[in-house]
């Protein structure tokens, strides 16, 4: 097999090879995990990056994303407007106390108003003054040039805007914005030297080919950080009754993403606990990053279980900006 050795020697998987590896039923998932682990070990050693989410504005969203409990299609239980600055900075304090490397400030909605961006940037300036080591990721939706300029000036390190799915499957997931809209926001952030974080949600009815396409699309946009979400179905959403994932399939997806994006931060994101279940630790042999705490409107597991898992793996917490520290060949 020795795919990892080939990749470490400078080769890249072609889309056709990747599809064959991903779908070949005779190729054991643990063999792929083993290959992916060689790459994870080379680029990140025993380090794990921790991230924490703040849902700074919840629900009240005009978009129709089929996986999301905050969309206009839902009668949200948790809906509130943008929270006050003090609550945003308080969340950063909790993150710093929990050895978190990146604090992710997330807002529901199609994109932020200029007033909301000003509110976020004022909060980020305060956080940077109080916790200069804490990296800040903003996830505010579709954003323009002027907004990116303000976010960069305030000290935002990273912007999350997921591709979510393949270009081919996009319209099955959302109809109120396009795949191209998503790409444009990512490119805008890159143009302002804000580190691009972009990932996917698997288990929404996409095909194996879609999953391979997503991994290559993220390689093409050169995402520094790749959150891989596994659908945690929310009743009442379009995908509320989906049930496509098994722990082994999740591992196979993570291994595929590592083989195609070997040096990138690969984060096991939403749906980790419910989909990987007892294989979460195995998944961290492929991924090098997780969220600690709750997700946007679904709960995570108690923080201590994550710290225990890291200790059991004899891993160490990485506070650094991984994409600036990875080895180059
Ligand atoms: S994912 Fe974001 S844009 Fe889509 S419905 Fe949910 S809050 Fe709105």
| pTM assigned to the model | 0.94
Checking if the pLDDT of 320 tops 90, the result is no
Model pLDDT, residue 296: 80
Phi and psi at residue 152, in whole multiples of 5°?
Answer: -65, -45
- Give the start-to-end residue ranges of the domains of the chain: 13-318
* Spatial CB neighbours of 24, under 8 Å, sequence gap ≥ 6: none
Is the distance from the beta carbon of residue 68 to the nearest atom of ligand 1 less than 6 Å? Answer: yes
Identify the CA nearest to 151 among candidates 185, 186, 181, 124. Answer: 124
Q: What is the pLDDT of residue 319?
A: 78
pLDDT of 323 above 60: no
Compute CA distances 293 → 9, 81, 96, 217, whole Å: 38, 21, 13, 29
Residue 107 near ligand 1, beta carbon < 6 Å:
no
Find out whether the beta carbon of 63 lies less than 6 Å from any atom of ligand 1: yes
Q: What is the pLDDT of residues 155-194, one digit of tens each?
A: 999 999 999 999 999 999 999 999 999 999 999 999 999 9
pLDDT (0 to 100) of residue 59: 87
**149 neighbors 186 (Cβ within 8 angstroms):** no
Q: Is residue 101 over pLDDT 80?
A: yes
Indicate whether residue 76 lines ligand 1 (CB < 6 A). Answer: no
pLDDT of residue 325: 44
140 lines ligand 1 (CB under 6 A): no
Annotation: binding site for [2Fe-2S] cluster: 104, 137, 197, 267
Q: Who has greater pLDDT, 294 or 130?
A: 130
Query: Does pLDDT of 63 surpass 70?
Result: yes
State yes or no: pLDDT of 78 exceeds 80: no
Ligand 1 center from residue 216 Cα (angstroms): 24
The per-residue pLDDT for range 190-221, each reduced to its tens digit, is 999 999 999 999 999 999 999 999 999 999 99
Predicted confidence band of residue 60 (pLDDT cuts 50, 70, 90): confident
* Contact present, 72 and 64 (Cβ < 8 Å): yes
* Averaged pLDDT, 246-254: 98
Ligand 1 atom at minimum distance from 174 CA: 4
**Given this model, what pLDDT does residue 208 score?**
98
CA of 44 to the centre of ligand 1 (A): 32
Q: Give the mean model confidence (pLDDT) for residues 230-253.
A: 95
* 65 within ligand 1 shell (Cβ under 6 A): yes
Q: Do residues 262 and 43 lie in contact, with contact meaning Cβ atoms separated by under 8 Å?
A: yes
The sign of the torsion formed by the CA atoms of 241, 243, 247, 252 equals negative
Q: Which atom of ligand 1 is nearest to the CA of 71?
A: 5
Question: Which sign, positive or negative, has the C-alpha torsion 224, 271, 48, 209?
Answer: negative
Q: Which fold has domain 13-318?
A: TIM Barrel (3.20.20)
Percent of the chain predicted with pLDDT > 70: 95
């Amino acid at each position: 097999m020795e795919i990892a050795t080939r990749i470490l020697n400078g080769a890249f998987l072609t889309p056709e090879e990747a599809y064959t590896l991903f779908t070949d039923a005779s190729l054991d998932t643990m063999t792929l995990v083993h290959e992916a682990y060689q790459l994870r070990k080379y680029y990140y050693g025993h380090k794990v990056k921790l991230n924490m989410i703040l849902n700074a504005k919840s629900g009240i969203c005009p978009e129709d994303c089929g996986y999301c409990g905050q969309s206009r299609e839902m009668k949200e239980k948790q809906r509130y407007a943008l929270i006050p600055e003090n609550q945003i900075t308080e969340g950063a304090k909790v993150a710093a106390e929990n050895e978190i490397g990146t604090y992710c400030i997330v807002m529901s909605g199609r994109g932020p108003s200029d007033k909301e961006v000003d509110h976020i940037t004022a909060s980020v300036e305060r956080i940077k003054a109080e916790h200069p080591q804490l990296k800040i990721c903003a996830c505010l939706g579709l954003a323009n040039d002027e907004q990116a300029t303000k976010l960069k000036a305030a000290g935002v390190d990273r912007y999350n805007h997921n591709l979510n799915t393949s270009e081919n499957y996009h319209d099955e997931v959302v109809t109120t914005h396009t795949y191209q809209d998503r790409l444009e926001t990512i490119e805008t952030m890159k143009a302002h030297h804000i580190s691009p974080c972009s990932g996917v949600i698997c288990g929404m009815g996409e095909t194996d080919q879609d999953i391979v396409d997503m991994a290559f699309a993220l390689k093409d946009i050169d995402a520094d950080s790749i959150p891989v979400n596994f659908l945690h179905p929310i009743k009442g959403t379009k995908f509320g009754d989906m049930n496509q994932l098994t722990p082994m399939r999740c591992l196979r997806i993570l291994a595929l993403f590592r083989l195609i994006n070997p040096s990138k931060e690969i984060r096991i994101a939403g749906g980790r606990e419910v989909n990987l279940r007892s294989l979460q630790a195995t998944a961290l042999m492929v991924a090098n990053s997780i969220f600690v705490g709750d997700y946007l409107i679904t709960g995570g597991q108690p923080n201590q279980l994550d710290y225990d898992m890291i200790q059991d793996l004899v891993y160490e917490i990485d506070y650094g900006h991984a994409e600036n520290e990875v080895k180059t060949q």
